[in-house]
Structure 1
Amino acid sequence: MRLLSLALVSAFALTGACPTIASSDAETSALPQIVVPDLSEQTMKDVTRELSLDTYEGRAPGSIGEEKTVAHLIAKFKAAGLEPGNNGSWTQDVPLIEITAKNVSALNIADRNGKVMSFAYGSEYVIGSYRETPKTEINQSDMIFVGHGIVAPEKGWNDYAGVDVKGKTVVVMVNDPDFENEGLDGPFGGKAMTYYGRWTYKYEEAARQGAAAVLIIHDTAPAAYGWNVVNSSWTGTQFLAQSKDGGKSQTQANGWIQKSVAKEIFAAAGQNLETQMAAAKQKGFKAVPLNLTASFNFDNDIARKASKNVIGVMKGAKRPDEYVLYTAHWDHLGRCTAASDGDDICNGAVDNATGTAALVALAEGYTKAGTPDRSVVFLAVTAEESGLLGSKYYAENPIFPLSQTVGGVNMDAFSMSGPAKNLTVIGKGKSQLDAYLEVAAKSEGRTPEMEPTPEKGFYYRSDHFSFAKLGVPMVYFEGGDDLIIGGKAAAQAAAEDYEKNRYHAPDDEFDENWDWSGVMSDLKLYYRVGRMLAMTNAWPNWNEGDEFRAVRDKSRSGK
């Protein structure tokens, strides 16, 4: 899951109106009035509680927790009145590689005189490999600081210009160069993160450049989460999509280092970290050889596994070959870094047992309301926490053609802080689905607002992105940051508490004392938007000029 956008809410507010919808294929003035059936809070509680039990062991793909999760969802989808969504089967196999780093050494940094600094695995650095090899060994690899590690020809930006990093260890910064801008002006969209800012891109580009290893400097603000999240996410089993070359096109090792570690490394190289990081934000930055070497090694336990997406469908009454999607990821981290009491199960109650429960509750609601005109697909995907792997696999291998998929909504971690006056829309202004959400929100007396922290790149961090980049318009929003009781201050306190104490940690557990009123308010909005899509003839598109418009137009044209 991407970290809740409520987290660390700042006073910064973006202004600007949502683009006007002018396309004739989005007849928003004729959107149907939707009557919301009784959506079961008890179902939300029961499914969330069940999937969060310790016996599910944190719902890691390929584990006993997956078997129990898939069985429970099939039973609940069947009871809710859905049909199997994959040609008579409730599941779609998703081929994965499971890689677990074992016997990880310290990170040893040596200067030209043989002086060595050592940094501990877990507390000071984390590392792993995307290659299917029993042992990873980086031995005296030359280190180079490559700024943000970005190659963007369309922006005239190349952090690798004039430097050969083949076989070397590159040190990179997270986020974009203009991360600290106070608006949306800048070569990389100002404060709003682009895909160039994501850690996934940093690793991909380093591999294209031939680097042996990548170490990202962790900095809480641009990363949008603390070291505790990096530690818990990177010290356990990692899941990857199976590749034809066994990962040979990837770097040998990918990892993170604490910023304090980076300061020591740069000082040993005779460099000032802050000075170099500031320089890297300017166009024309040149990579800096550190005249140091990195060494570390670890073993890899490797297993091939077929995880599963769970798919239920309600066939449409009038246009059954047109599809509306509801998506949520059922997986979490499994066993992770233990808490002080020894608990090492990351239960993932909020993230994302709540969203998975919502699929069931919505399916029940659709059955109560009667069959819609279009077919509705309820898709619980695997391996989101490992890089959106389940949704990516479905999007690239769809059961129901994407050219016939009208659009959909994604649900990832409901807020337990109570009902809000507003709602936070991730990617507001990108597609004509904004109009559907406006109508739905108005019916509930709420106001859709742009995310207050676009620099954190949430748009690229949940399963809607897998469909968006292949053209399917998707709505993704979260409970707002202005609570009915307590306002923005209460919302910020609740979000910061979740991030600090529960996000990607063993304490994300089910609580019988949770306030579900905000959850149920959000659930109504998800129902309204999906039901409107399922009851119209319209084919909403991305707004003119959006990065995904061309692929959608091509898909719909059949060319």
Structure 2
Amino acid sequence: MIVRLLAAAAALLLAAPLPAQALPTEGELRAHIETLASDAFQGRQPGTQGEAMATQYIAQQMAQAGLQPGYGGNFFQPVALVERREGQARIRIGGADPAAPETAQLLLLGNMENVELAGAPVLFAGYGLDTGRDGEDSFADARFDGAVVLFLAGWPEGMDDGPSYRSRIASFRERGAQAAIGIIDPDLPWQAARAGMMFRQTYLASHVVAPVEGIMSAAMADALFAGIGRNYAGLEAMAAQEDFAPSILDVDMVINVTTPIDRFDGFNIVGRLPGSGNTGEAVLFTAHHDHFGICRPEGREDRICNGAVDNASGTAAVIEVARTIAAGPRPVRDILFVTTTAEELGLLGAIEFADHPPMPLDDIVAVFNLDTIAIAPRGAPVGIIGRGMTPLDDLIDTVAREAGRDIYTGLDVNAFVNRHDGWVFFERGVPAVMVGGSFTDPELRTGFLSGPYHAPEDEAEGLELGGAIEDVWLHIALGRAFADPARYRTPQR
């Protein structure tokens, strides 16, 4: 059942701040992780009772730490989401259904529960690539307004890698196509193609999708276009011609698509610690609190993806960083503490926050994202995911050395730079990194990613928190340093 979370009760938000205290302990960090990753929270899937429980818990912790509501007078920022699933699809040519063999497959998704397209021009766009194999004859600026665009979802002969068919569908959508349908290479198994098309079919309600998007098998294309003397092999030959240009196919096509669609809200949690200097600037700490919920079918012994390391650990760290900084001397700059929803669905909560921030993004001087921190033991060197890409490195290294931490300068960890919420801010010109020891040991990193990652085995019991608590202490120091204009000047954008 979809849960639409309302504001927390007034008694919760008026809870008294905690008194000043020493640095947090492993036990305090573990208590948050065990709560957030418990079976009672059902894996914290966006829009569920489990996420509602998690967000209430986080908001309560922020209020008790003495943070102010950070989003329009509230701790909760609603994130409107849409999920669509495979339904039924039908294409008729000249008013008749094609005589399709059993190998003919069709997967179409609509932007509404029921969509019918009739009378639209049907345009064949070859491979749908922006440039030809020689880098010329680009039609990147072409418009396809109102058209049904068909394209070959593979790549031309001699091309070993290229844009995915989903990215090409998005390109045609952005250029006005009513429908964008890729014809799958016969060498790609249909189930693999289907899985690729259905990947991350949850998106922000503000995201625009074409009326119809999808894929069909080569056998379906053969059946559809037999009446006009076309088939997959012929379309492939057309696309291979040196002078190929998108062309209209002489067909009368009617498309009917039924798509099950769910609309629901996830929630970001936003707390604010006002600075003493009235600078109008802020440091931002983020972590995503969502995970995959009940992720195995009924009848399995363990059905819940609890997400203890990913990312109850990062969420717990944000809570403890907030609590400790708030209990000490007031920083000069504001500090925002945000936990996001729907990160696992494509960084969607972070995108919503960045698109509708409580303050101008240009006034956020640094973003520190905490994700999957409970891997390494104490003494792990500090790495920066995003090293060399922002002006943050020098002060991060200085603060880490002041904390007695070794520095890992390798750039291999930058392979993860676009796989966390910080990337959303980096793309918008805000300096954003992930800092810590979890990803600097390839063996530990690979062991987690190839093991319990995104599986029910990622549970709180027996977690190694030595490195995680050191990373919490480091982020407390980073928050104080970057919130001090004397230590970190406003970066040039």
Question: TM-score with structure 1 length normalisation?
Answer: 0.64
The one of 469, 477, 480 equivalent to 1:531 is: 480
Q: Which residue pairs with 1:99 in the alignment?
A: 83
Query: Does residue 445 of the first structure (1) align with residue 406 of the second (2)?
Result: yes
Query: Are residues 207 and 437 of structure 1, via their aligned partners in 2, closer, same or farther at CA, if it must alter by over 3 Å?
Result: same
For residue 68 of structure 1, report the CA deviation from its aligned partner: 1.2
Q: Which residue pairs with 2:287 in the alignment?
A: 328
CA deviations 1:149-170 (Å, max 9, x no partner) are: 4579xx9784768896931344
Asked if the contact 1:59–1:66 (Cα under 8 Å) also holds between the matched residues in 2, the reply is yes
Q: Distance between the aligned counterparts of 1:462 and 1:216, measured in 2?
A: 32
Counterpart secondary structure, 1:497: coil
Asked if the contact 1:143–1:294 (Cα under 8 Å) also holds between the matched residues in 2, the reply is no
Query: Are residues 357 and 104 of structure 1, via their aligned partners in 2, closer, same or farther at CA, if it must alter by over 3 Å?
Result: farther
Select the structure with the greater relative contact order (CA < 8 A; seq sep ≥ 6): 1
Query: Are residues 338 and 474 of structure 1, via their aligned partners in 2, closer, same or farther at CA, if it must alter by over 3 Å?
Result: same
Asked if the contact 1:440–1:529 (Cα under 8 Å) also holds between the matched residues in 2, the reply is yes
Matches within 5 A, 1:225-244: 234=200, 238-242=202-206
Q: Which residue pairs with 1:314 in the alignment?
A: 273
Asked if the contact 2:78–2:265 (Cα under 8 Å) also holds between the matched residues in 1, the reply is yes
CA deviations 1:253-279 (Å, max 9, x no partner) are: 45689xxx889999x834999x999x9
For residue 371 of structure 1, report the CA deviation from its aligned partner: 1.9
For residue 102 of structure 1, report the CA deviation from its aligned partner: 5.5
For residue 423 of structure 1, report the CA deviation from its aligned partner: 4.8
The one of 431, 444, 465 equivalent to 1:516 is: 465
Q: Distance between the aligned counterparts of 2:81 and 2:167, measured in 1?
A: 20
Counterpart secondary structure, 2:434: strand
The one of 425, 437, 442 equivalent to 2:384 is: 425
Q: Distance between the aligned counterparts of 2:410 and 2:26, measured in 1?
A: 26
Matches within 5 A, 1:111-510: 114-118=99-103, 128-129=109-110, 131=111, 133-136=112-115, 147=127, 149-150=129-130, 158=138, 166-172=147-153, 201-211=167-177, 212-214=179-181, 234=200, 238-242=202-206, 247=208, 250-254=209-213, 269-270=232-233, 297-303=257-263, 305-319=264-278, 321-336=280-295, 338=297, 341=300, 344-418=303-377, 421-442=380-401, 443-451=404-412, 454=415, 458-477=416-435, 479=437, 481-483=439-441, 488-498=442-452, 502-503=453-454, 505=455, 507=456, 509-510=458-459
CA deviations 1:220-262 (Å, max 9, x no partner) are: xxxxxx9999699547xx242336xxx4xx22345689xxx88
Counterpart secondary structure, 1:206: helix
The one of 51, 61, 68 equivalent to 2:46 is: 61
For residue 381 of structure 1, report the CA deviation from its aligned partner: 2.1
Q: Distance between the aligned counterparts of 2:62 and 2:410, measured in 1?
A: 33
User: Structure 1: which amino acid aligns with 2:434?
Assistant: Y
The one of 15, 23, 30 equivalent to 1:38 is: 23
Counterpart secondary structure, 1:378: strand
Q: Distance between the aligned counterparts of 1:85 and 1:431, measured in 2?
A: 26
For residue 378 of structure 1, report the CA deviation from its aligned partner: 0.4
User: Structure 2: which amino acid aligns with 1:526?
Assistant: H
Query: Are residues 162 and 84 of structure 1, via their aligned partners in 2, closer, same or farther at CA, if it must alter by over 3 Å?
Result: closer
Q: Distance between the aligned counterparts of 2:463 and 2:46, measured in 1?
A: 27
Asked if the contact 1:61–1:331 (Cα under 8 Å) also holds between the matched residues in 2, the reply is yes
CA deviations 1:89-114 (Å, max 9, x no partner) are: 222333x1433426457999xxx994
Asked if the contact 1:105–1:298 (Cα under 8 Å) also holds between the matched residues in 2, the reply is yes
Query: Are residues 379 and 161 of structure 1, via their aligned partners in 2, closer, same or farther at CA, if it must alter by over 3 Å?
Result: closer
Segment of structure 1 superposing worse, 319-328 or 523-532: 523-532
Asked if the contact 1:107–1:119 (Cα under 8 Å) also holds between the matched residues in 2, the reply is no
- Structure 1: unaligned runs, 5 residues or longer: 1-35, 181-195, 219-225, 543-551, 553-559
Query: Are residues 297 and 76 of structure 1, via their aligned partners in 2, closer, same or farther at CA, if it must alter by over 3 Å?
Result: same
Percent identical among aligned pairs is 23
Q: Distance between the aligned counterparts of 1:477 and 1:285, measured in 2?
A: 49
The one of 18, 32, 35 equivalent to 1:50 is: 35
- The number of residue pairs the alignment matches comes to 445
CA deviations 1:167-226 (Å, max 9, x no partner) are: 13445469xx9998xxxxxxxxxxxxxxx96887544312023441355989xxxxxxx9
Asked if the contact 1:144–1:290 (Cα under 8 Å) also holds between the matched residues in 2, the reply is yes
Q: Which residue pairs with 1:556 in the alignment?
A: none
Counterpart secondary structure, 1:168: strand
For residue 492 of structure 1, report the CA deviation from its aligned partner: 2.9
Query: Are residues 285 and 323 of structure 1, via their aligned partners in 2, closer, same or farther at CA, if it must alter by over 3 Å?
Result: farther
Question: TM-score with structure 2 length normalisation?
Answer: 0.71
CA deviations 1:426-483 (Å, max 9, x no partner) are: 33222111222222343411313223574xxx44443223323333211224645553
CA RMSD in angstroms comes to 4.9
Counterpart secondary structure, 2:268: strand
Q: Distance between the aligned counterparts of 2:255 and 2:63, measured in 1?
A: 53
For residue 85 of structure 1, report the CA deviation from its aligned partner: 1.7
Query: Are residues 114 and 399 of structure 1, via their aligned partners in 2, closer, same or farther at CA, if it must alter by over 3 Å?
Result: same
Counterpart secondary structure, 2:280: strand
Q: Distance between the aligned counterparts of 1:541 and 1:271, measured in 2?
A: 56
Asked if the contact 1:148–1:173 (Cα under 8 Å) also holds between the matched residues in 2, the reply is no
Counterpart secondary structure, 1:372: coil
User: Structure 1: which amino acid aligns with 2:423?
Assistant: F
Q: Distance between the aligned counterparts of 2:282 and 2:482, measured in 1?
A: 9
Q: Distance between the aligned counterparts of 1:171 and 1:441, measured in 2?
A: 51
Q: Which residue pairs with 2:12 in the alignment?
A: none
Q: Distance between the aligned counterparts of 1:325 and 1:430, measured in 2?
A: 18
Counterpart secondary structure, 1:318: coil
Counterpart secondary structure, 1:430: coil
Query: Are residues 45 and 403 of structure 1, via their aligned partners in 2, closer, same or farther at CA, if it must alter by over 3 Å?
Result: same
